[in-house]
């Protein structure tokens, strides 16, 4: 198995470091390097690659905007001297985030992860792996916490913050409930109140204008009743006691 690699970085030294690393790993084949994302975009329109090592701070088109405009689906590994773009990078589905200077063991760990994700395929370059869906949240100034989507139970609004309750832990992050809910799979989560979003498969019971999750009862807001009724109960007889 050989993975085709390109490197996009406006610093020649950084390209040389990564080029040297790639040449030491027999599973990797370096097919090209680029000092800007514009040239790389043109290349990708006519060539298939498996991995892109991508810098963020570049002229004309930076790495994050490049990822947003990317119409192909190679794995993207961010390589940057700046830690503050990690959350955005993972939101754009970067497979990893390497902070310069990049030690070779850390580089190798990333490659091992990528090669393990690939399984037997009819056409190499179209990976059949299915990673367990997850989301990264910033729990303090430097730490990004990975949370598996299927472990989220309830998200509660705390004004400018939210509390995420999972099956094993709780996290408080600086986000609004609306913006966080929008990032979750719409078929698996439902906003039931201005203060709560609930995992549909974690609902234990519904009674009147409230429901129970993990042994706790939550009120369903009046403006959310019809959505709850349609998506959870599929029962036109469901009414709030407030509407009598």
Encode the chain (244 residues) as per-residue pLDDT tens digits: 789 999 999 999 999 999 999 999 988 999 999 999 999 999 998 899 999 999 999 988 999 999 988 877 789 999 999 888 888 888 888 888 999 999 998 999 888 888 877 643 433 444 444 456 777 787 776 677 878 888 999 999 998 899 999 998 999 998 899 988 988 888 889 999 999 999 999 998 888 889 999 999 999 999 998 888 788 766 433 444 444 4
| CA pair distance 98, 107, nearest whole angstrom | 8
Closest CA to 137 of 100, 77, 184: 184
Can you give the pLDDT at residue 158? 94
pTM of the complete model: 0.55
CA distances from 244 to 209, 227, 239, 241 (A): 12, 19, 8, 6
SS3 category, 21 = helix
Can you give the pLDDT at residue 238? 43
**Domains of the chain with bracketed CATH:** 3-117 (3.40.50.2300), 134-243 (2.40.50.1020)
CA distances from 209 to 130, 166, 189, 195 (A): 38, 24, 18, 15
Can you give the pLDDT at residue 206? 86
């Amino acid at each position: 198995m050989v993975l085709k690699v390109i490197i996009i970085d406006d610093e020649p030294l950084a390209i040389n470091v990564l080029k040297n690393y790639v040449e030491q790993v027999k599973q990797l084949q370096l097919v090209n390097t680029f000092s800007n994302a514009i040239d790389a975009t043109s290349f990708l329109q006519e060539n298939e690659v498996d991995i892109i090592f991508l810098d963020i701070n570049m002229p004309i088109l930076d790495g994050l905007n490049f990822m947003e405009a990317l119409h192909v689906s190679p794995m993207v590994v961010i390589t940057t001297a700046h830690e503050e773009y990690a959350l955005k990078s993972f939101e754009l589905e970067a497979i990893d985030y390497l902070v310069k200077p990049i030690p070779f063991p850390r580089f190798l760990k990333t490659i091992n992860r990528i090669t393990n994700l690939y399984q037997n395929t009819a056409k190499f370059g179209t990976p059949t792996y299915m990673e367990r869906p997850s989301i990264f949240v910033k729990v303090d100034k430097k730490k990004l916490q990975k949370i598996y989507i299927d472990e989220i139970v309830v998200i509660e609004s705390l004004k400018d913050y939210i509390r995420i309750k999972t099956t094993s832990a709780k996290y408080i992050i600086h986000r609004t409930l609306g913006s966080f809910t929008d990032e979750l799979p719409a078929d698996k989560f439902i906003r039931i109140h201005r203060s709560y979003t609930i995992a549909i498969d974690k609902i234990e019971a519904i009674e009147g204008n409230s429901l129970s999750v993990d042994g706790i009862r939550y009120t369903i807001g009046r403006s959310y009743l019809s959505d709850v009724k349609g998506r959870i109960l599929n029962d036109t007889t469901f009414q709030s006691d407030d509407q009598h």
